Structures are given as structure tokens and as C-alpha cells.
């Protein structure tokens, strides 16, 4: 078994969650109407939505033709509400995905830099929350902050401001098209993470180099695909 002692150090944070939707434009319109976000980028392959490029975002991908993905493994997204604003109740979107909110006050003093409605967490269904949390910690360098048979949680970076993945012991619906595509983790050096996974003999799904970023995709616990992405230059920069 790999010992994962060669995982890179450096800052990590929840960069985005990628989901598949039947109609990207219609779903984008719903997000823009409900939340304080904008379309950061739109290409033939994806639509990137969030308050800004630097903080937690939602990536929309096209669903397989003829399918309408609904929330299954992915239970909810967690957006931050800035200090001084009331935390609104959860909102259920058209694809059954639930969006919940947390006050910046609960995330520590560093949360003052977060823009309103930045993505700061996700909740996933899991047959074994404790085991999944251990897997994220062991293989991906995350930090367990709660671990139990009914629910567990890991922090992506060095505190809640860097994003949290909550794992809930619930049966994952079968038969429906998969909504969750992958979870994106921002890292300082994606190639170093790729090299570490190769050194430890961990499977790698793919390596991607794009104009603004490079990333390694690896399978995680419960078949969650995790992207370790390094931003080379911000989108829109020359």
C-alpha cells in the first residue's frame, strides 16, 4: 500500500465543483438569478460561474445527450454569506441539487477576503463516511475534522476558509444520470502532485494542459474524481 509521504506541501483550496446539466444556459440563468455570481467564462465545453475567478466556483458541463442528471451522490453546495448579511435558508435547484449557506463569521478571520456566494463546501452521500474521509486524508492530503459512521468531514486546505467536503451516510440513488463530474482543488504545482501520485503508484485518470492552467485528475474515495489544478494565469489575462 502507498504511504503517501511524498504529497506536496503548499496551499490548497476548493477551487470548483463540476456538474453535468442538460442545458448549460438555462442552468446558468438560474444561478445568476438566485446568487451573487456571474459567468466568468463560457466555451464550447464548459461554463464557469462564481463571484470571481480567484475563489470557489461552479463549472457546468454538458450532460450526455438525452439524459437529465439529478442530484445523487452530490447532496449540496455550500456558499458563503458575507458578514452582516442574514444567512438565507437552503434553496433547491431545478435538478434537485440543494444550495446551503454559511456565514463568513463561522469560517475564521481569513473569510473576510471571501466574496459573497463563493463556494466553500460540498456535501456528498457515502456508504462509508469515515472510510471516505480517511481516503481523502491519506491519498489526497486533506485534513479530517470530523469522523464518524454517520457523517464525516475533511478540510481541503488549512482551515474551513479553504473549503470542506462533508460526507453523509446516505444511500446513493442508482439509475439516474450522474450530476457530479469532479471536484477541483487548487494547488501551487500540479506537476508535483502528478509526480507524487506516480511515485506512490496511485492511478491517474488524466493530465491536462490548458492555456491558463494545468491539472492532474485522480480517482478518489467513492469514485469521486478529484482535479488538482494549478492556475498559470487568470482567465482573461494576456
Domains defined along the chain, listed by start: 13-231 (3.10.180.10)
Bridge partners, 42 (sequence order): 47
Answer whether residue 152 shows pLDDT above 60: yes
Q: Residue 200: which residues within 8 A CB-CB, separation 6 or more?
A: 2, 3, 4, 6
Percent of the chain with pLDDT over 70: 95
Give this prediction's pTM: 0.93
Strands 180-186 and 225-231: what pairing? Answer: parallel
pLDDT at 154 (0 to 100): 98
Average pLDDT over residues 132-151: 95
pLDDT at 237 (0 to 100): 52
CA distance readout (Å), 227 to 44, 86, 213? 20, 33, 12
CB atoms within 10 A of CB 116: 16
pLDDT digits 0-9 by tens, 9-52: 889 999 999 999 999 999 999 999 999 999 999 999 999 999 99
pLDDT at 238 (0 to 100): 45
pLDDT at 7 (0 to 100): 87
Amino acid at each position: 500500500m502507498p504511504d503517501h509521504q511524498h504529497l506536496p506541501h503548499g496551499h490548497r483550496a476548493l477551487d470548483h465543483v463540476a456538474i453535468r446539466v442538460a442545458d448549460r444556459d438555462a442552468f446558468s440563468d438560474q444561478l445568476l438569478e438566485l446568487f451573487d455570481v456571474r459567468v466568468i467564462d463560457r466555451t464550447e465545453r464548459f461554463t464557469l460561474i462564481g463571484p470571481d475567478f480567484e475563489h470557489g466556483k461552479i463549472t457546468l458541463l454538458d450532460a450526455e445527450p438525452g439524459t437529465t442528471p439529478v442530484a445523487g451522490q452530490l447532496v449540496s453546495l455550500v456558499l458563503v454569506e458575507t458578514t452582516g448579511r442574514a444567512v438565507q435558508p437552503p434553496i433547491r435547484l431545478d435538478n434537485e441539487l440543494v444550495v446551503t449557506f454559511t456565514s463568513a463569521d463561522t469560517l475564521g478571520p481569513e473569510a473576510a477576503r471571501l466574496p459573497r456566494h463563493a463556494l466553500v463546501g460540498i456535501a456528498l452521500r457515502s456508504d462509508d463516511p469515515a472510510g471516505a474521509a480517511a481516503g481523502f486524508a491519506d491519498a489526497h492530503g486533506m485534513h479530517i475534522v470530523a469522523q464518524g459512521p454517520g457523517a464525516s468531514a475533511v478540510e481541503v486546505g488549512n482551515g474551513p476558509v479553504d473549503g470542506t467536503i462533508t460526507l453523509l451516510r446516505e444511500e446513493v440513488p442508482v439509475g439516474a444520470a450522474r450530476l457530479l463530474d469532479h471536484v477541483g482543488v487548487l494547488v501551487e504545482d500540479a506537476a508535483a502532485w502528478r509526480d507524487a501520485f506516480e511515485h506512490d503508484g496511485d492511478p491517474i485518470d488524466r493530465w491536462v494542459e490548458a492555456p491558463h492552467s494545468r491539472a492532474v485528475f485522480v480517482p478518489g474515495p467513492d469514485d469521486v474524481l478529484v482535479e488538482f489544478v494549478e492556475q498559470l494565469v487568470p482567465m482573461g489575462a494576456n
